[in-house]
Each structure stands twice: as C-alpha cells, then as structure tokens.
Amino acid sequence: MIDINLIRTNPDLVKENIKKKFQDQKLGYVDDVLSLDEQIRKLKKEGDSLRASRNSLSQQIGLLMREKKIEEANDIKAQVVKNNQRIVEIEEEEAKLAVDLKRYMMSIPNIIADDVPIGEDDSKNVQRLTIGEAKKATFEIPYHADILESLSGLDLDSARRTSGNGFYYLTGDIARLHSAIISYARDFMIDRGFTYCIPPFMIRSDVVTGVMSFDEMENMMYKIEGEDLYLIGTSEHSMIGRFKDTIVKEEDLPICLTSYSPCFRKEVGAHGIEERGIYRVHQFEKQEMIVICKPEESMDWYNKMWQISSDFFKSLDIPHEVMECCSGDLADLKVKSCDLNAWSPRQNRYFGELGSCSNLSDAQARRLGIRFKTEKGTTYAHTLNNTVVAPPRMLIAFLENNLNADGSVNIPKALQNYMGGKTKIEPKK
C-alpha cells in the first residue's frame, strides 16, 4: 500500500505507474481515492468542530445551572444532544467511507523502481547475468519424474490416491537428498549471519492481506474452514507478520532472518498443476530469507540477497541466470524483483524458477504497521524477501545437472556430509 500523501500530491505519477504495470482498469481508483479522502476529511473537520462545540456548550450548561437559569441550560442541553447525534452519524459515515478507501488503496500497485524493464508479462523479463558454465548434455537426459522413479525416489500414484494431483511421495535417497538440501541451506544462511526461525504455518486473514495482494491471496491461499486461519504459501508471510503493529528499535535494524516451512498453494491459474512431475505442486518445503531494514538500505539489501542465493547454487554446481522481472510481471506490492532460473541440460535453456528476490519498500510495513523509531519520530521500515531454496523444484535442476550417463547422480561435496558420506545415488536395478 502506497502513502496516500503521494496520491494527494502527485496523482499523475501514481496513474503513470499503473499504466506501466498494464493495469489500466485501476486508473479510476486514483480518483476514487481522492474523492473518498476529501469526503472523509470534511467529515472529520465537521466532527472535530462539533466536539469542540460540545465541550464549550457543556461548560456553559454548568455556569447556567449554578446561576439557576434552568430553561436556558435545558435549551443548550438539547443542542448538545443534537450535536452528539450528528457526531455518531459522522463516525458511522466515516467508517463506511474508510472501508471503501482502504479497498481502493490496497488495490493500487506500489511504485516500481526506475530501472524496472517495462513489459506486459514474464515474456518481457530481461536476463541480467548468467553464473556457471551452462553445459550441453552429451547423452539423452530423461524427464525429471523418470529420473526420480529410476532412483526409486518418487511415488505419484499413491499420492493421487491419498491426496489427488499436485501431491507426491519422495522416498529413499531422494527423500534424504531433499532434507539434505534444506539442512545445508539452513546452515548456509546461518553462516551468512541470518537468524534461523521456524514460524507458524497458519496465519490470520489480517496478516494475509498485509503481506500480499487480493489476487495473489485468491489464487494461492488455502483457508481453514470455520477458522480465521490460512495455510501459508511461503514462510515470508508468517515471518513478516511476526512484526505486525510493532515499533522496532533503529539500532536493531537490519533484522536478517532465515526460515524453514512447508508451503501450501492452490496454484490457480493458466499454468495449472503438473500431473507427471514435481515442478508445480500444492505442497513443498522451502528455506526463505527476509530482511527488515531502513528505507535507504533496502536496495543494497536487495542486491545482497539475490547474490546470496546465487552463491548457494554456485556451491552446488548448478548454472543459473538472474532474470529481472518486468513491470507487468511484478506483484502489486513489489518495487523490484528478480528470479533465479536454473540451466536445464535436457531442454538446453534456462528454465525453472529456483527462487525469487523481491523488494517491497514500505508496502507491507504500511499494511501491517511495522515501524522503527528515529530521532524525528517513527517511520515505516522496508521489507524484502528471497528464496534460499525450494525443493522439490530445485531437485529437478539438481538431477539434470548432476546426472551421469549410467543413470547415477553425483552428490556435490557441499551435501555429502548431510548424505552420510555418499558421493552418488545409484539407480535401483
């Protein structure tokens, strides 16, 4: 949510930003906000005037009663009652208008960074950097589900019977590899100075609407029936929500946290759920990082955070690219975002979002009331989030880049201690 003062002072800038995000249907929201804001301010002014008048009249009543001027006092009492009735009407009207104002404010996208490429959708994203040698395969690489099944590591049929499409069983060495990657990611982030957390896996609706847009909420979140609780789609939601309605000490910034959680997503949309693999599923696990910092530090942290993810994948010998998200591919709360996509030897191209790094400036902080205290008072903090690793999707890149012609899979040195010293996973005969 952007600062309403920006809409008051520079509505054209806000409208131009909406156009850059190709959301012209929202252009009228700016004028709606201005109109509602004006009505609310007029009502507030009238209410303040009536309250001041009420206080003055109450003092007059006291004087008149002491002077035994009962009739005059009763006339003024009648006026006070009338004023009170109007104050109640004003407060009710203000409350209704405030609901409408908030709805429009929460639908207007955040102001994107000046260097964000302009484009309608992810086809217009821009490659900024490639890391690692993108090797071409010297033998035919099977589809990832076939690789996993050859290693006795994946059971989709049983998952369909128990849970439906979009779920899976990982077994044996693959299940161990999955856990090894998560454990290594945890220790990797701790070594970078981040504090490790395990958050609640369910959050209330006021936290959900504080961390994401309405469209994202509708397409992603599972609601617990009969409860004001949602299953988290990423631990970022719960981790940022931890600071709801808090004032952080300036000396405690930046707050750098890394969190583990299972994640649950409806995955509503054109892409759908993958039936034969584990690329797009309803349930997965993830190691995340979040930073809460001063506004002037957020872009530096944005660059540090995606670089940390890049270093993580370098340590596992997975070639990848850094892809800058264009304006139309940015969620409404984001100022700037980039994806890390893995090299796919099977497809001979970069494919598969290993993770996404995002700077949301003060959008989440405004919604949730996350502030920090300075010498001049309190101001909203900036929030950032980034995926460290999200198996099982990352397993696809791992398998393709570490597969041998005989069907075995090499285990990089960084993971061997987490795999009991194993250097390879062998196919089952």
- Return the pLDDT at 80: 81
For tokens 């454990």, the residue is: 183
Tell me whether residue 421 is exposed, middle or buried, using C-beta atoms within 10 angstroms of its C-beta: 0 to 12, 13 to 18, 19 or more.
Answer: exposed
Please state the rounded mean pLDDT for residues 185-196.
98
pLDDT score for 286 = 95
In sequence order, what are the residues at sequence separation of 6 or more whose Cβ sits closer than 8 angstroms to the Cβ of residue 329? Answer: 119, 121, 122, 124, 125, 337
Lowest mean pLDDT, pick from 78-82, 117-121, 249-253: 78-82
Average pLDDT for residues 389-405, to the nearest whole number?
93
Cβ proximity of 156 and 145 under 8 Å: yes
Q: How many CB atoms lie within 10 A of CB 198?
A: 11
Compute the distance between CA of residue 344 and CA of residue 141 in angstroms, rounded to an integer.
Answer: 10
Query: What b/e string do you get for 304-333 counting C-beta neighbours within 10 Å, with b at 16 or more?
Result: bbbebbbebbeebebbbbbbbbbbbbbbbb
Instruction: Tell me the per-residue pLDDT of 17-33, one tens digit each, with 9 for 90 and over.
Output: 999 999 999 999 999 99
Position 306 pLDDT exceeds 90 = yes
Is 70 exceeded by the pLDDT of residue 270?
no
Exposed / middle / buried, residue 353 (Cβ in 10 Å: 0-12, 13-18, 19+): middle
Q: Is 102 exposed, middle or buried (0-12, 13-18, 19+ CB in 10 A)?
A: middle
* Strand-pair partners of 384: 291, 359
Question: Measured between alpha carbons, how far is 138 from 150 in angstroms, rounded to an integer?
Answer: 19
- For the chain, what percent of residues have pLDDT higher than 70? 98
List, for residues 43-89, the tens digit of each pLDDT value.
Answer: 999 998 888 888 888 777 777 777 777 777 777 788 888 888 899 99
pTM given for the model: 0.89
pLDDT at residue 300, as a whole number:
98
pLDDT given at position 337: 97
CB of 356 closer than 8 Å to CB of 324: no
Tell me what pLDDT residue 112 has: 97
What is the pLDDT at residue 54? 80
What is the pLDDT confidence band of residue 268, given thresholds at 50, 70 and 90?
low
Q: Check whether the bond before 295 is cis (ω within 30° of 0).
A: no
Q: What is the pLDDT of residue 138?
A: 93
Across the chain, mean pLDDT equals: 92
Query: Which of the two residues, 207 and 72, has the higher pLDDT score?
Result: 207
Residue 169 pLDDT level (bands cut at 50, 70, 90): very high
All structural domains of the chain, each given as residue ranges with its CATH number in brackets, are 4-105 (1.10.287.40), 122-425 (3.30.930.10)
420-144-232 Cα angle (round to 5): 75
- Any bridge partners for residue 342, and if so which? 320, 351
- Integer Cα distance of 272 and 290 in angstroms: 28
Using alpha carbons, select from 65, 81, 85, 83 the residue that is nearest to residue 73: 65
Res 220: pLDDT:
85
Which of 87-91, 162-166, 193-197, 214-218 is predicted with the least confidence, judged by mean pLDDT? Answer: 214-218
139 has pLDDT over 80: yes
pLDDT digit string (tens) for 325-353?
999 999 999 999 999 999 999 999 998 78
CA distances from 297 to 32, 165, 241, 261 (A): 33, 43, 21, 27
Does 255 have pLDDT greater than 70? yes
Contact indicator for 117, 126 with CB cutoff of 8 Å: yes
